[in-house]
Amino acid sequence: MASNRLAPEAPSAPHLPQDLSGSLTDTATFAPDPFAPGAFAPEGPGPYGAADDGPSGWNPTEESVRSVRGRHRVAKQRGGLARGGTVLGVGVIAAVGAGGMATAEEKPPVPISMPDLGSLAADVTGALPDAESLPGIGSLLGSSDDAGDASGTATAAAPLSSAGITTEDGQGAGAGEALRSRILQQADTQQAAAERDARDAAEHTALVQAEKTAATDHKAAVADAKAERAEAARKEAAARAKHEAEARAKAEAARLAELAKSYLLPVTSYTLTASFGQAGDRWAADHTGQDFAAPTGTPVKAVHSGTITQAGWAGAYGYRIVLTLDDGTELWFCHLSSMVKTGGKVATGEVIGRVGATGNVTGPHLHLEVRPGGGDPIDPMPWLRGRGLNI
């Protein structure tokens, strides 16, 4: 039957302080390992104490499992300095936390006991290697003043690109130069991209401006063409109107010339005196005709062919002959001294009477009135000019 005793623990090496070179110090004090087996075993009698053979004394695998020598050894912890640093860090953190909580709770600061770092600093200093043995540094330092002077002189005389530079330094410089080249290349690429973007933006702006200018020029050209067409149409209309006016004038001249052959002035030698509409005390109203002053007995001719409808005394008009034209217009010849034709048709230029001073007159003259349709009198001068007579 299996025993209830615990399996024997593998022996562990005591945690001894070490210096940086790995040797044990003679003056180190030993402390029990808090993680060693049995370090926290209860003391005295109890349900699991040393004097009790309770549950901790029973091991069902004692007969089947045996500890192999050396296999369950606790690995030797190297570097007492690392362990001391860990303990120191934990202590500092605890102290800072305790001080913060004490300050927050308005309690007096908790006293902290710091380990003596003087001996630890001496151990570290003694464990550091000599400067001459470091790679890349020993060539710059000498063991004596003469060697230092000679090395300093050689270094000063050597070019800066190779003085004190080892293979590792050369590789670092090459990596730095490569990084610098990559940075410069990236900067050049970014600069080229920026210039390309600026060039594209400028080209786009120029294209847009060119399109706007072309549109403006097109509008201006369309407006100019429209204005030119309007001006050409205006000139053409003016020329056509001028041509038509000239044609009308020519036609009128021809008509008047033709009319002139059929219309004549009533007297050949005369002086124009009282005109149509003129006011005076000699007439009951404004003057109703045109006076042609001429010597008594001057022949009076028919202005146009027509029919004598009246001939005789007419009071203030004296002796008067009324010649009715084919269109119904009446021509009155007044103040005659004698009447040659008193009725019937007459031709243009035929003598129908003679100038006199009969009726309400101040001297010999022919008083001529024009009454279209036998109505009210009009100004004889425009009517005569309209028939091609120059007066």
Q: pLDDT higher for 26 or 364?
A: 364
The answer on pLDDT for 46 being more than 60 is: no
Q: pLDDT higher for 187 or 108?
A: 187
Dihedral sign, Cα of residue 301, residue 302, residue 307, residue 312:
negative
The answer on pLDDT for 10 being more than 70 is: no
Give the per-residue pLDDT at 387. Answer: 87
Give the per-residue pLDDT at 186. Answer: 92
Give the per-residue pLDDT at 20. Answer: 40
Give the per-residue pLDDT at 84. Answer: 57
How far is the C-alpha of 143 from the C-alpha of 154, rounded, in Å? Answer: 15
11 residue type, one letter = P
Per-chain mean pLDDT for the chain: 74
The beta-strand segments (E) located in the chain are 271-272, 290-293, 299-301, 306-313, 319-325, 330-339, 344-346, 351-355, 365-371
pTM of the model: 0.40
Q: What percent of the chain has pLDDT over 70?
A: 54
Count CA atoms closer than 13 A to 48's CA, side-chain side.
Answer: 8
pLDDT in tens, 135-161: 655 555 554 444 445 444 444 444 444
